[in-house]
Amino acid sequence: MNRIAFGRGRVAAAVVVVLGLVLGGLTVAHAQKGSQVNPPATFKFTDAKVAPSRAGFAPVVKAVVPTVVSIKSSKVVRTGALRGQRQGQIPDQLRQFFGDQFGGQFGIPNIPEDQRSEGLGSGVIVSPEGYILTNNHVVDGATDVQVTLSDRREYKARVIGRDQEADLAVVKIDAGNLPAITIGNSDAVEVGDYALAVGNPFGVGQSVTFGIVSATHRGTGLRIEGYEDFIQTDAAINPGNSGGALVNDRGELIGINTAIIAHGSEGNQGIGFAVPVNLARNIMDQILKNGKVTRARLGILPQDVTPTIARQFGVKDSQGALVGEVEANSPAQQAGLKTGDIILEVNGNSVYDANQLRNMISSMQPDSKVNLKVWRDGAQRTLPVTLGELNPEEARTRGGNGRNENGSTDALEGVSVENLTSQIARELKLPAGAAGVVVNEVSPASAAASAGLKQGDVIQEVNRRPVKNVAEFEAAVRNSMDGTLLLVNRDGHTIYVGV
């Protein structure tokens, strides 16, 4: 309250100053004893009669705002395990639901074992029958969901279905004849298009912000969600906007506002992300039709093509998705895809990077037949593939298991390696018969560290030639003329690292 009152005081002072400047001459004249100031005989006060022009987005906002709702969700959280944590520290599993502003309450000794906590978000009415599209993290784990319409009517909602990987959910309220938003085409969105974000930031009520589309097909690199294909915008998005509408200048829904990048607990800094509406609509349709979301599976571990990797494989551009590993008995293996292939196109559509390939495949249905254009051994070829079904529980563990042994030898600058023994292979959980050299030290200042090589990696190939021991590794590295391409086994999965 003090901050609000102070703000009002500053505004009032500013008004007084402005009035003093405008009326200063009259004030001085009246201060002279016996003087009188009369306006000229020709001076007249005229009321404005011409309506101001409507060059803004008021008509668009009037159509969109009734379709955007506020969502309050609550759930019981076990907080006994949180006792003793530092003041201001909030666990990752609660951060999305509460927000950083609640961090200070944890660590208080007398905190109860169970607490009912509330979260605020937004949603978009997509049908007159009361179906609402929102973010999964707005309703995840909620025992009670309440929806407030723009005209302040309140309804209890039930969750129809959720998709954690894309952070989307569908909820339903028992109401009819509701205003539904017009769904646009996110594939037609271009960088520089106008964008308006509508939602309930910080719980203050319906708000509209304006900006442009800053980027499309954006992955954050932070793995905010399992599948990232965001529309990035500088239209202000803040906590509470989650699940709200991102619309174009025609009032068509192009995305569901989902996340922001901010320092600490700060709010909008001009980098907001929305799930494209085409992806959201596909997931929503599956939830309504099947009660769940199914995704296709190719069965590879893809990675981006860096300039170093592009030179090593002889491709012109650093585009496409490099196959770092082909899973056994997968659709990819059955179609003849190999480690070291670079996927350039899927059904004639260009592949920019590994994230885009992952999104393209996941948007398809199991048993779909696709044609992959791949780069192999200096030439292009087309492979027909019948996709499988992705197991929702399937996940990969990434990262290296640290080792620091003596007796290693320097080959790449700042990198030391040693022979892979059967004991080390068992410790690293490598398959039987695995061969190569183990990285036991990588200097943080080295080019290899910048490229992603880690302690515990097992280097199996150098410049696409197998290496079985330190001597072969050193010889292969000495023969490198234009960078070094390493095939690395990390946690049982192979990837390429270009140094």
Please identify every residue annotated as catalytic.
137, 167, 242
Radius of gyration in angstroms for the set of CA atoms belonging to the chain, rounded to a whole number: 30
The position carrying tokens 């007398």 is 110
Residue type, 370: V
Question: For 348, how many CA atoms within 13 A lie in the half-sphere containing its CB?
Answer: 0
Query: Token pair for residue 67?
Result: 């379709």
Query: How many Cβ atoms sit within 10 Å of the Cβ of residue 163?
Result: 23
Rounded-to-integer distance, Cα 308 and Cα 34, Å:
89
Beta pairing class for 154-163 and 194-199: unpaired
Strands (E), 79-129: 114-125
Q: Which of 66, 61, 289, 58 is nearest to 177 (CA)?
A: 66
Rounded-to-integer distance, Cα 367 and Cα 364, Å:
9
Burial 116-129 (b: 16+ CB within 10 A, else e): ebebbbbbbbbeee
The angle at the Cα of 97, spanning 91 to 99, to the nearest 5 degrees, equals 70
For residues 65, 269, 221, 307, the Cα torsion angle rounded to the nearest 10 degrees is 120
The position carrying tokens 């060059």 is 55
- 3-class DSSP state of 310: helix
- What is the DSSP secondary-structure string of 251-279? SEEEEEEEEE--STT----S-EEEEEHHH
